[in-house]
Every structure is written in C-alpha cells, then in structure tokens.
Amino acid sequence: MLSIEGNDELRAVAFGMKFIERDVKNAVNRATRAELKPIWRAELDVSLAGTNTFTSRILKGARVSPGNPPTVYAATSRRGIGKDKRLNPAEHYYLGEFGARDSLYRTYTRQSENGGSHTVKRRTNTGLPHAIRKGRVVYPAAAQAAPRLASLWVQTFVRTVYEAADAK
C-alpha cells in the first residue's frame, strides 16, 4: 500500500528510526500508537457503518502496531463469534471482508436413517456476503486513512526527536 520508495519524508523517518537511541525510539513508538490508533479505528467505524451484522462482528479488533513502519490491523480478536463460537475474526476475517461465492456446491456422503449412505449436494455459503475482490471494509478504510497516517507518523517522529534533543 504505502512505500518509502517515492516519498523522501517516509524514507527519512524509516532511516532515522534505525539510528536514534533506544529510549527516543520507544517514545516515538508510544506516541505513534497513541495518535494513530484513534484515527484507524474511526476510519474502520466509518467503513463498517453500512455493513451487515456479520461483517461488523467478524472485523472487530482494530489496532495499530508501532514500528518501522507502523502497521494497522483489523480483525485481531481470537474470541469466537456466533452461537457455537466456531468462527473467530483472526482466522475468518476474509469472509466479512471479501465475502464468498454462494453458487459453490459441496458434496459429501452421510448416513441415512435406515443405515445406508447417500451423497448430498448443498450450497454452504448462502448466508455469507457476496464476493467482492477489492474488499468491502478494511481495504477502502486503509486507502482513505493511509496518507493521513503516514503524515502523522512523520510529524510524530520529528516532534518526538525534537523534544528529546531539547531535553538534553
């Protein structure tokens, strides 16, 4: 999504993070997490606003991981959802983000009541959202938030390094 190749400011921050002292780097990371997380959550909430309940439940657990560069996550929860708790957002996020083709049939063999067996052909994806390649929530939210998050990361780095230099 974002690359430091075409942007001198991002390249400078990425190299600067390698050379600053550990305590200043920790301060940058703390400030990055504190400032980027509300923006990322707000952007995800805007994208989730018009979706169905399944999508909003499976894409919960948004967070920002500071680093070089910082990483944004959605659907990090491992707590199961649904009646039988078999779906967990960290593993099955793609069902809410990209959907599934409901025209797929699954064929399996089962035992009948009289002891014989027979083949059953069923559509098992009928309750899921329709398939969308470009994503319906996280990808559009990331496209909207990425320029703002990158700019804020650069500003946070410069401000924190400046404050650390002033303190010495």
Model confidence pLDDT, tens digit, residues 2-14:
667 788 888 899 8
Whether residue 28 lies inside any domain: the answer is yes
In terms of Cβ atoms closer than 10 Å to its own Cβ (0-12, 13-18, 19+), residue 83 is: exposed
When pLDDT is averaged across residues 89-96 and rounded to a whole number, the result is 85
pTM to 2 decimal places: 0.79
- Same domain, yes or no: 17 and 32: yes
Whether residue 3 lies inside any domain: the answer is no
Q: Give, to the nearest 10 degrees, the angle between helix 138-167 and helix 22-48.
A: 150
Whether residue 20 lies inside any domain: the answer is yes
- Same domain, yes or no: 73 and 116: no
- Same domain, yes or no: 75 and 105: no
DSSP, collapsed to helix, strand or coil, labels residue 6 as: coil
Whether residue 40 lies inside any domain: the answer is yes
Whether residue 86 lies inside any domain: the answer is yes
Whether residue 56 lies inside any domain: the answer is yes
**Count of the separate structural domains present in the chain:** 2
The pLDDT-based confidence of 112 (bands split at 50, 70, 90) is: confident
- Same domain, yes or no: 85 and 121: no
- Same domain, yes or no: 115 and 85: no
Q: Give, in degrees to the nearest 5, the angle at Cα 104 between 103 and 106.
A: 140
pLDDT of residue 116: 92
- Same domain, yes or no: 139 and 116: no
Nearest CA to 74 out of 51, 99, 96, 52 is that of 96
- Same domain, yes or no: 54 and 28: yes
Per-residue pLDDT tens for 124-145? 877 778 888 888 889 999 999 9
Whether residue 78 lies inside any domain: the answer is yes
DSSP, collapsed to helix, strand or coil, labels residue 144 as: helix
- 3-state SS, one letter per residue, for 88-143: CHHHHHHHHHCCECCCCEEEEEEECCCCCEEEEEEECCCCCCECCCCCCCHHHHHH
Per-residue pLDDT tens for 55-86? 888 887 888 998 888 899 988 888 888 788 88
- Same domain, yes or no: 46 and 90: yes
Range of the domain at 120: 101-126
- Same domain, yes or no: 26 and 71: yes
- Same domain, yes or no: 146 and 67: yes
pLDDT of residue 5: 78
Name the one residue in this structure whose structure tokens are 């993070």.
17
- Same domain, yes or no: 47 and 118: no
